[in-house]
Amino acid sequence: MTMISVSILNADLAHLAEVAKLVEESGADALHYDVMDGCFVDNISFGLPVLRSLRSCTELPLDVHLMVQDPLRFIGRFAEAGAQMLSFHIESQSDAAATIREIHAHGVRAGIAVSPDTSLEQILPLLSLLEKDDFILLMTVQPGWGKQSFLYDVLPKIKALRAVLDARGLPLHIQVDGGIQDVTAALCREAGVDYLVSGSYLMGAPCPAEAVRGLRGEG
């Protein structure tokens, strides 16, 4: 079954508890939490205090996406604040292997995030460091802002990564984030994605539970 992580980047953060409840009731699998530092991307979003508050509002896994310049510096603090999945960008300044080891040391699932213009070749040597149910996050928009249009040029990259994972027998997930709605979700599933991140489409849906089923291809 395709898994769904709901991004709260453009949700009503004045009512965080209600947002978390809505995500739970939708039947989604996780809550996606974008961290931006204003350096790695030209935007600033949430930090540790908000994550701690969110942790008290929901039992869903917290899927934390670090769009920051030096993710290694923050791994321990985000894990302690409640993150159960932590993805960091291969384009960041931190040593990728050390960052993966630090995430695992805190008992958290590790993800390597890849921006649209970055080649898969940069992450292939790191796949052997990942553990069962870790993931590769392929961005289907430019990182930093919500409500962007899906970049169809990423679909061949998704297919290529799925072929590599299958050929090596690696039990890893492919996650995508950006412009995910019913049509693009179907294209991603066909390309080999098994973990979809969706924000505005789900949060603005008349019936989020129906939208979640649609993203899974069940509706």
The H-or-E segment that residue 168 falls in is helix 155-168
- Residue pair 132/171 in contact by the 8 Å Cβ criterion: yes
**Can you tell me the distance from the alpha carbon of 2 to that of 110, in angstroms, rounded to the nearest whole number?**
19
- Single out the catalytic residue among 37, 63, 134, 177: 177
Catalytic site residue 12?
no
For residue 159, with 0-12 CB atoms within 10 Å meaning exposed, 13-18 middle and 19 or more buried, which class applies? middle
Contact 26, 214 (CB under 8 A): no
Active site residue 177: yes
CA gap 140, 176 in Å, rounded: 6
- Active-site residue, selected from the candidate residues 29, 34, 37, 63: 34
The residues carrying an active-site annotation are: 34, 177
